[in-house]
Chains A and B, each alone.
Chain A
Amino acid sequence: MIKNTRKHPAAIDLDRRTFLKGAALGAAAMALPPADADAGFLESFFQKHFREMSDEEIKKVIDRLEKDYSKQFSKEVKVKATKPMENVVFGYGLDIGRCIGCRKCVQACVEENNQSRDPQIQWISVLKMKKGAKMADFQTADKYYQPEQVPEPGYFYLPVQCQQCEDPPCVKVCPTKATWKEKDGIVVIDYNWCIGCRYCMAACPYGARRFNWGTPNVPAEQLNPNTHYLGNRPRPKGSVEKCTFCIQRTREGRYPACVEACPVGARKFGNLADPNSEIRKAMEHFRVFRLKEDLNTKPQFFYFFGVKSNRAEGGK
């Protein structure tokens, strides 16, 4: 996109994009019933792609969203646009030897990230797998287990969420660039730019993406008002969403909600770029694998099992 459009000195501040949008606006205004054509609607209709907005424009959009959400939920909702930290690449670790399948992480995630309660949306799927089952064969997995008590004997649990791939197939296929990978490794979605074609869902090898099939519904008293534009703010119907490593928390140096909620400490999180970080220490300590490595998506989500044997290290 041409950023520095040459302007006629007498012309008003109107670059080509704005002009084309204006022309489209006229056409759209004619096609729309006048009742819908209020200022807020038009502003959101012509909102630019998040990455093409200046900080000032982002602030304007955020002001509008905060006003809308605060009105909709009758409480003050904050929308941030915190940028990635320097020299930080987030990585996630999950010790499947420890996970007991309690799904506390799922619950914490839903509450923190304002997932729709009805219809139900959950970003984390915990798979119950038979011990001794082929790891690659997810067909033996059960996502809907409802036992009296966990863990059940003879089973282990494999929680799956967005793997924040280094080479994310979802980003590659998106026709509108509405989803991209941020500098700190988080794959994000501009919910206002997503057109809802769901190609990313077809492309994701981990079944991590969720679509708002109906109007998302979060009871006002349960809404987490501390939100991020690219994360847990309320989503529109017809757009795609997924785990963002709790971008609203982690970019402020906090843990993702699922890490905090895990009662057995199976979840680790930290800065892959820092050799002394918790995640890097854990990766040295455990045996590590990633899901569907043959697809070469290079997840930044690592699964741990067992403790690295000393003998394998040459008896150090």
Chain B
Amino acid sequence: MTTALINFFKDITNIFKGGPKYYMLMGILGAILAVGLGAYYLQVDRGLIITAMRDQVAWGFYIANFTFLVGVAAAAVLLVIPAYLYKFKPIKEVVLFGEIMAVTAIIMCLLFIMVDVGRPLFVWHMLPVIGTINFPASLLGWDFFVLNGYLAVNLAALGYALFCYSQGKPYSLKILLPIVIFSIPMAFSIHTVTAFLYGAVKARPFWNVSILGPRFLASAFCSGPALMLLVFQALRKYEKVDIEDKAIFKISEIITYALGINLFFLFVEIFTDFYSHTLNGASMHYLFFGIDGKTNLVPFIWTAVVLNLAAFAIMLTPKYRYNYKTLNIALVMMIIGVYIEKGMGLVIPGQTPDPLGEIYEYMPTTPEMLISIAIWALGAMIFIALTKFALPKIKAAKNFDH
């Protein structure tokens, strides 16, 4: 057992070994991270006043990124369903990368929460047992459990599979399958709970709608897997990982349905708000058309709508979906589209106008951006490091027939 564990961790040193290109990539990401750390020091020192958030819009870019990334974390489960439930082998081989992405995304989510709180030293107050977590009343309490639970489940599945590989034997489906099956409802729950985090707020009519949960799921099934497909292609090209075309095209087909459903949900919301034209529709109006000349979000949301529609048109056409060039264009458009729509496009209009009718136009400040970009850079570093750790094991296991 001990030698097995040593073998398992031996590849950790791999993370620090690589060609000049690898060092350069990690160096650049590290530099971005360092700049962000500087900005974060400024934030700790002076307070969140260095961000553009104020009492009127108390949640901003950090929480927008958090919300988007919860969606990305679902990527793994989308791959798991066809791989294990329908025994679609080509996807099965890439499931582990999906899990690495899920782990990375959840870590980034937790970091975005940490940089957002005003007194980060005291977050232990919301732990169970040693703190006073407000469970089950607070949806943030629920989010604490499901996010950490999802992280644990994915780490367990990933760790177990890699551990078996490092011993030179295939993993036992008897052990892995229950974990993987359990991760499916967990993935649904992280989205549902995060959607309820907003949906629970009756003070904000833009969030307090029942379609929010389904909308979260639909958009998660677009952006996460889209990001994965780009990563797969990169792995195939630079690391010579054997990923079949069939797997990529199957996933892109699923994404197409999800994007269609997501667009439909958005349309349903737009219809309800604009047709009924109650005062509760003010947020939607602010988002799409602005109010009283305050139009900060307008160009963004229209960009998102156009990108998502165009991506959907490309993906719907088999000729373009099976062509890597056009497929990748559509994927990038979709990721940006969902990032806007489900990030800033959800968080900011929910708070604008504020409960007393004031319109405060929120736009993140430079330090706020630097801190957020740094978390993305750190996320990339974590993903690359985990992949580098796992790659030799996955490659060696290529010949196993599970």
Contacts and interface: CB of A to CB of B under 8 A. Distances in A.
A84 interface: no
Interface in A193-217: 193-199, 201-207, 209-215
B31 to A, nearest CB: 24
A263 interface: no
Interface in B180-232: 197, 200-204
A169 B201 CA distance: 8
A102 interface: no
Contact of A214 (B49, B116, B137, B356): B49
Contacts, number: 162
Contacts of A178: 125
B356 A125 contact: yes
Contact of A204 (B125, B130, B355): B355
Interface in B78-130: 113, 116-126, 129-130
Contacts of A201: 55, 58
A143 to B, nearest CB: 6
A173 B201 contact: yes
A89 interface: no
A176 B129 contact: no
Contacts of B126: 175-176, 195
A176 B130 CA distance: 11
Contact of B356 (A17, A199, A202, A206): A206
Q: Which of B46, B56, B58, B131 has the most CB of A within 10 A?
A: B58
Contacts of B58: 198, 201-202, 211
Given A143-B358, A176-B125, A17 B130 contact: yes
Contacts of A1: 132
B59 interface: yes
B357 A138 contact: yes
B209 to A, nearest CB: 15
A16 B128 CA distance: 13
Contacts of A199: 138, 140, 197
Given A137-B279, A198-B58, A173 B121 contact: no
B49 A173 contact: no
Nearest to B198: A202
A175 B47 contact: no
B394 interface: no
A20 interface: yes
26 contacts: A21-B130, A49-B125, A134-B279, A137-B279, A138-B357, A173-B201, A175-B140, A175-B141, A175-B144, A193-B132, A194-B119, A195-B117, A195-B120, A195-B123, A195-B126, A196-B119, A197-B117, A199-B140, A199-B197, A206-B203, A207-B56, A211-B58, A214-B49, A237-B118, A237-B119, A238-B117
Given A139-B291, A202-B201, 13 more contacts: A134-B279, A137-B279, A138-B358, A173-B139, A175-B141, A201-B58, A202-B204, A202-B350, A203-B202, A205-B355, A206-B355, A207-B56, A215-B46
